[in-house]
Amino acid sequence: MIPYGRQSISDEDIEAVVQALKSDWLTTGPAVEAFEVAIARTAQAKYSVSVTSGTAALHVAYSALGLAQGDEIVTSPLTFVATASTAILLGARVRFADIDPDTGNLDPAAAESEINSRTRAITAVDYAGLPTKISDFRSITSRNRHVLLIQDAAHSIGSLHSGKPVGSQADLTTFSFFPTKNLTTAEGGAVVTNDDDLARNCRRFKNHGLVRDLDSLREHDIGPWHQEVHNFGLNYRLPDVLAALGFSQLQRLEDFKAKRQRVFDFYTESMQGIDGLKLPSHIPGTEPMWHLYPIRVPASRRRAIFERLRASGIGVQVNYIPVYWHPVFEDLGYKRGLCPEAERFYTEEISLPMHTDLKHSELEMITEAVRKAVRYA
């Protein structure tokens, strides 16, 4: 089976991990520091906080803004469940706004209409790697000063919008380094921000809420061992061993991006004009690092086409089941029909394999199988 996503591990990556294992630090040492600096540079953000997953990154981001019971966020249903579930675990309510069917990204006007006095954040999701058009959401947050902009960029590290890297513009941006994502630390993630207070809150929450800097302590002159907990937190610390892998991977980000773009271009050129098949389109002003290649087919035949592709050895996926269709949301009272565009997108969508090591012969095999499946399934 050709997998839909796959990591790329070089000899340098392996050597970096071995060096970390031989060092004095297995966790929270120099590799974590170097990785965080490198992530901040890639994202062109002032601060970067590494964590143990993209899910942890979202949890940390929501905690950093103080999200709690009585608060609300607005987000897209066309995402992995963690974008919403981490807010709900903090006691907040999630309002889903519909997507732009051309891109799969959150529709700014739909998001704005879900804002009220309890809204603390809009979480935009960079679906398939296509970066959110920040200027649209910035005009919303400037009209609604109590609302922060979070970007779930689990798919899109390395993408640019208007020449600016993902991570440089939202109030908080979260990344995932799961093996299928654009780069990997096996499990891992990061939050980036330009805001001093949000960065400090992120650092504290991922490390039990511990406060150690002298200026912030409530009690002084207790002894060199003294530390304090001012807020409850968790242990989401990324080990040095994994940060070393991430740092090594980051050196190849542009190479990964070019290879993913070649896969995108091959698919797009060889499947142009097939009846009943809709391909992802290039959006002006964006330079995406493609994480997925989402095709859309008639909903009535999606299952047959999907099963035929799987039977031909192609590891297709569907991204995503609308978040509020999951039973846990149904039990909270969310009803189907809430976001018709996202639901339609889901019923038509199939993700083709997209990773750096796809061979030309595999790409030809995949596109030929799609052509046949769309015609005969």
Ligand X SMILES: *Cc1c(COP(=O)(O)O)cnc(C)c1O
Least separation in angstroms between residue 291's CB and ligand X is 8
From the list 76-84, 142-150, 196-204, 368-376, the region that binds ligand X by CB under 6 A is 76-84
Tell whether residue 342 is a contact of ligand X (CB under 6 A). no
Give residues 175-234 in contact with ligand X (rule: CB under 6 A).
Answer: 176, 178, 189
List, in order, residues 6 or more apart from 114 with CB less than 8 Å away. 74, 95, 96, 97
* Strand pairing report for 72-75 and 47-51: unpaired
From the list 49-57, 62-70, 110-118, 137-145, the region that binds ligand X by CB under 6 A is 49-57
Least separation in angstroms between residue 214's CB and ligand X is 34
Tell whether residue 49 is a contact of ligand X (CB under 6 A). no
**For residues 104 and 271, which CB has a smaller minimum distance to ligand X in the complex?**
104
Least separation in angstroms between residue 114's CB and ligand X is 19
Tell whether residue 346 is a contact of ligand X (CB under 6 A). no
Tell whether residue 79 is a contact of ligand X (CB under 6 A). yes
Tell whether residue 80 is a contact of ligand X (CB under 6 A). yes
Q: 80: which 2 tokens?
A: 């992995």
From the list 40-48, 151-159, 228-236, 296-304, the region that binds ligand X by CB under 6 A is 151-159
Q: 230: which 2 tokens?
A: 């001012």
**For residues 178 and 346, which CB has a smaller minimum distance to ligand X in the complex?**
178
CA distances for 130 relative to 118, 247, 262, 282, 347, angstroms: 29, 23, 16, 9, 20
List, in order, residues 6 or more apart from 78 with CB less than 8 Å away. 99, 104, 125, 127, 319, 320, 322, 323, 342, 345, 346
Tell whether residue 82 is a contact of ligand X (CB under 6 A). yes
Tell whether residue 158 is a contact of ligand X (CB under 6 A). no
Question: Which residue of 63, 83, 182, 248 would you call a contact of ligand X, by CB under 6 A?
Answer: 83
Q: Which of 133, 124, 191 is nearest to 160 (CA)?
A: 133
User: Cβ(363)–Cβ(263) under 8 Å?
Assistant: yes
* Strand pairing report for 189-193 and 47-51: antiparallel
Binding site for ligand X (CB under 6 A): 53-55, 79-80, 82-83, 125, 152, 154-155, 176, 178, 189
